[in-house]
Structures are given as structure tokens and as C-alpha cells.
Structure 1
Amino acid sequence: MGLFNWGKSKEEQQQPPAFKSELDALENRLDTFLAKMNERIDILLTGFLQEAPAIIATDDRFGQAYNRFSAAMKGQAGNMREKVQDVSENQIEPVYRQYIDTVSAGSEAYRTLYEWRNRCAEKVSIWEEQLQLRVDQATEQVEYKDYEPVFSEMMHTYYEQCKSVNCRQCGAPLHIQQVYYYTAYVTCGSCQTQNIFEPGVIARDIEHTARKLAEQRSKHFLDLSEQRRKEENEYYRQMHAIQTGLTLKELETQSGPGYQQLLVLEEKRLQAEKEAPELLDKYYRNIFDELNKLLPDLKEHHEKFFVSLQTNYQRYQSKRSTNI
């Protein structure tokens, strides 16, 4: 007989809590609500995938129309997330708080309430993760472009245009052999006159495309970082589920099969927590290395870009550690 069940018969202990039917009804309503929200997401993302290509095809070079369209889609997805959170906070949690203080800790009623709350929270958490995953996948599908041939063609065009640039003094070709990001002075090989060379829009487009290509070449590190982050969350969920099933003796003595499982999962969780930011840092570093391979003439410019990435990342980590 359990520690908190003194004086109760076996039949009484096996009786379901009086509020169980209410909990079951609420959980069923939550399932129905999440299913309806999924239907709305299907409609939202289907429309996004159908309309986005045409918007991109007729957009300006800065992609302003697509950016507005994408932001609107993500805004609607965010509104759905808020509605789901509202149901969790205002319909699930109040019922849990209403009954949890009326039952004995360790009783069957207590366990039923605790497991119900965790089960509902898990469903909401999984739904939110799936929403984010689907939005990310739809966005990636629409925005994907193989930047390798695009970059090669832009470089070819740049150097072809440079062949028509002549010295303002003697008219000889300037023989431009590098990519200039900003206006620069180029010395004429024939008369040594300093010529002002304005690379124009194409040079900035080349640099922008090089960044996209460098990000594309480095994406495997970003994917691995995200995978480790998800693994960390999954290990935490598994640990939480095991903890709720541990006996008082296992918790006090820190022993038993369940407690050993906790230790193994905690080790895996800590490893994933450690590797996620390391892989993200590799992603940024690899972008920098790839940019220098693609446009070695702009190494100094890339250095400034990389420093800004590191600064933003460190600021994010600092804010994250403060919130934990």
C-alpha cells in the first residue's frame, strides 16, 4: 500500500478520480482544436507555396514584395501559435490548478492530474515545433536557388564589362583583374594615370550572391546545430517523463533503473547542449572562409562582416543565458 493511501481499501484506490471525465473532455477538445488549426495551416502554406514563385519572379532586386508576402504569412502563423498558447494558459492550466491542491501528493488522483497536464503540454509543444518546422520548410522551398551557376555567371559578366573600361587619358584598356566593391582608383598600365573606377550595382550584387552561396555551402553546419538543439529538447522531455514516474525511494536514494536512465539522458542532453552552439559557430566561420575563397579581393570587407556576425551571436548567447 502506498505512503499516501493509508486507510483506503484496494477497491477505493482503483477508483478513477471524480474529475477524470472533465479532464478527458478537455483533452479531447484540445485535440480537436489542434486538428482544426492544422487545417488552417494547410490552407495558409498551400497558398504561400502557390503564390510566392510568381511574386518572386516579378519582384525588384531587393525582394521587397516577397519579403512583405513572407512576413504576412509568418504573421498569420504567429497568430495561430498565440491562439494555441491561449487555450493552454486559459483552459488547461486553470483546471489543473483548481484540482491539484484538493488531492494528496502521491495519490492516484494527483498522478492523474499531473500526467494529464504534462500530456496536454506535450501536445501543445509538439504542435508548436511542427508549425515552426512547416513554416521553415515552406520558406526554404520557395526561396531555394542554386547559387553556384548564378555566381559564376555574374563573375563572367563583371569581367566582360571590365574589358570595355579604358583609361580616360590615353584610352588604353585598364585591365581590371579584381572585384571592387566600392569606387576605386585604378592605375593605367600604359600611362600610369589614376582612373576612377565605379563598379556599379553588379559588384554589390556579386557580393550579395557570394554571401548566399557561402551560406548554402555552409548550411550543413546550421542543420546539425538545429538537430542538436532539438535533441537537447527531446532528452529533456524524456527526462521529465521519467521523473514523474520515479518513486519516492528512488528520488531519495538516487538509485534504481529509472534514476540510472535519468543520468544517461542528462549526459546526452548536456552533450547536445554543448555541441549546438559550437556547430553554429562553425557555420558562421565557414561562411567567412567560403566568402574569402569566392571573393579574395574583399577579404577585409568580409572580416568586418564576420565580426558583426560574432557580435550578434555573442549578444544572443548572453541574452539566452540571462533568461535561463
Structure 2
Amino acid sequence: MGLFNWGQSQEDKQEYEALKSELATLENRLDAFLAKLNERVDALLSGFIEEAPSVMAEDDRFGQAYYRFSSAMKGQAGSMREKLREVLEKQIEPVYSRYSDTLSAGSEGYSILHEWRHRCARKADEWEEQLQHRVDEATEQVERKDYEPVFAQMMNDYWQQCQLINCRQCGANLNIKQVYYYSAYVACSHCQTQNIFEPGTIARDIEHTARKLAEQRSKHFMDAHERRKREERSLYQQMHELQLTLSMEERVKRSGPKYEQLLSLESKRLQAESEAPELLDRYYRNIFDELTKLLPDLEEHHEKFFKSLQANYQRYESKRSTNL
């Protein structure tokens, strides 16, 4: 009967065992490859965490050296991701295509082949997700800083600097009451002379540090957003695996214990899918609210920036279609 629909002949059994053996061998190779990639990731991230402090200590105020260092690390991680995708494309997919062209849909062999392909793809997806998580964790560990005292010190230094600025005409203190980020004309309250006030680098860094502090204060929203995204992906994966076990009758009638379980998973998935973008919106909204608290004179600028950013990320929101 051959590969189309195995029977009980010795030849059929041999073909069946040969298929299972080939698929198992390839999957074992994939597992070994993922293990080697994990070793490389361990070395990459441990080196990054160890060397980053010295890079940052010798960096300029713009952080260009650290940016290049961090980008190089992320580039190497991206190369590993590409190598994994190459393995799937050149070693897994060709085998799947070769057998799927000869196996009849619904046969035991086709089911084994389909599940094998899905299993390999899932392992790759999970590895990529874990890689991104580890890269993010390492980056956060290196960059972690409490910006509350940093910002407070910056503002204190700025106001102390302002107390030393006097009118070039009459010598009276200019009594500066707001944060200037760039050179500006400031009128003397005594003689009305226009003075050019140059705030220096500290003032230009204030806005950048305020943004970091606002992000730090809003991080719990982003963490919740990422959790809901992971939950949605996990539920979708569970649904996909459950769908593979449905009988033809359950698929047609859309009923039965497994189908009810599928509907329950879909309900939870839809909730997570709905909440994730809401949490992202709250994250950005909170960032700009915090920025306005820190730098109230830039409220109008912050609001325009938020609306522009919001329109951009909402444009790319997408939802899955499960067709249950």
C-alpha cells in the first residue's frame, strides 16, 4: 500500500518505521543545535554583563560607546536567530514537503509528519522568545539605575547654577524661574535688558533623564502588557495543539468536550488579546503624565508627542482570527 496509507505488510511497517526514525533523528539534531545555541547565548550575555560597566564608565555623555557595544550584542543574538530559521528552512521544511506530497491527508503517517513539523516549529519559536527575554533581562540588568535621585540632583544643580546668573547690564540676579533647555533670551526684572542665558549641558540632559524616570515610574504597565501578550500566545498555542486532536466529527459538529475546552481557551485568549493593547496605551499615557509632572512647562509638547506616538502604535495593532 506504500506511503499513501500503510497496511500491515512487512514493507509497510518498514516504511512506517523509516519515516519515524528519520523524523526522530532530525528532531534530535534540532534539539542538539538548540542546546549549542544556548551555550553561545550564555557566553554572549555573560560577557556583555561583565564588560558593560567598564564600557559605560569610559563612555561620553551621549552613551555612544555603550550603544555600539549593546548593538553588537543584539546583532550577534539576531545572527543566532537567523541560523535557527535557516535550519528550519533547509532541514525541516524540505523533509516535510517531501513526505506531505506522498502521504494522504488523514492517514497516520500524515498525522505523525504534521505533528513533528509543528513540534519543531514550536521549539524554535519558544527558543526565540526565550532568547529575546534573556537579551532584554541582560540589557535591563546592565542599564538598571534609580533615576529618582539622578533627576533630583540634576534639578538641584540647575537651580543652583541659575542663582549665579546676573544681568550683564545692571548686575542684578536674573531670577530664572523655569527650565531652559537651550539658549534663550531672559529679561532682567530690574532694568529690562535682554540677556542671553546659556543653560549648558546639564539642562539639555534634564529632559532625557526625565524621560528615563517617567519610563521607570510606568514600567509596571509595560510588564503587565508583556505578560498579557505572553498569555495570549500561550493560549493560542494550546488551542492549536488541542485542535490537532479533534476528531472529524467534533470539527464538523463543533461540539464535544474538547471543543468546549477550545471555546474556553478562546475566551481567555480574547480577553488577553483585548487587554494587552489597553495596557500598552496606559503605559505611554502614564509616561507622558509623569513627564508633565516633572517638566510642567513642556505639557503641550508632551501631549502632542503622545498623540503622535499613540496613532503610530495603534496603526499596527493586529488580532488573530481563529475561526472557531
TM norm structure 1: 0.91
Task: Within 5 Å, give how 1:4-153 maps onto structure 2.
Answer: 16-153=16-153
Q: Relative to structure 2, which stretch is displaced further, 99-108 or 20-29?
A: 99-108
Show CA shifts across 1:263-315 (max 9, x none): 11111111111111111111111111000111112223323432342243244
Q: Which runs of 5+ in 2 are unaligned?
A: none
SS class of match (1:133): helix
Q: 1:28 to 1:116 in 2, by over 3 A?
A: same
2:168 match: 168
Q: Which runs of 5+ in 1 are unaligned?
A: none
Deviation at 1:118, TM superposition (A): 1.1
Show CA shifts across 1:67-115 (max 9, x none): 1111111111111001101111111111111112322322221221111
1:190 match: 190
Determine the C-alpha separation between the residues in 1 that align with 2:110 and 2:24: 15
Q: Is the 8 A contact 1:179 1:298 kept in 2?
A: no
Q: Is the 8 A contact 1:158 1:203 kept in 2?
A: yes
2:252 match: 252
Q: Is the 8 A contact 1:229 1:273 kept in 2?
A: yes
SS class of match (2:127): helix
Q: 1:170 to 1:89 in 2, by over 3 A?
A: same
2:286 match: 286
Q: Is the 8 A contact 1:74 1:135 kept in 2?
A: yes
Aligned length, in residue pairs: 315
Which amino acid in 2 is paired with 1:179?
V
Show CA shifts across 1:155-192 (max 9, x none): 00000000000112211111112111233332322223
Show CA shifts across 1:219-260 (max 9, x none): 111111111111111111000000000000000000011111
Q: Relative to structure 2, which stretch is displaced further, 249-258 or 179-188?
A: 179-188
| RMSD over equivalenced CA pairs, Å | 2.3
Determine the C-alpha separation between the residues in 2 that align with 1:7 and 1:125: 35
Instruction: Determine whether 1:268 maps to 2:291.
Output: no
TM norm structure 2: 0.91
1:205 match: 205
SS class of match (1:60): coil
SS class of match (2:216): helix
Q: 1:88 to 1:191 in 2, by over 3 A?
A: same
Q: 1:5 to 1:315 in 2, by over 3 A?
A: closer
Determine the C-alpha separation between the residues in 2 that align with 1:316 and 1:236: 20
Determine the C-alpha separation between the residues in 2 that align with 1:279 and 1:232: 14
Determine the C-alpha separation between the residues in 1 that align with 2:195 and 2:221: 43
Q: Is the 8 A contact 2:225 2:277 kept in 1?
A: yes
1:218 match: 218
Q: Is the 8 A contact 2:6 2:16 kept in 1?
A: no
Q: Relative to structure 2, which stretch is displaced further, 250-259 or 164-173?
A: 164-173
Which amino acid in 1 is paired with 2:204?
R
Q: Relative to structure 2, which stretch is displaced further, 60-69 or 190-199?
A: 190-199
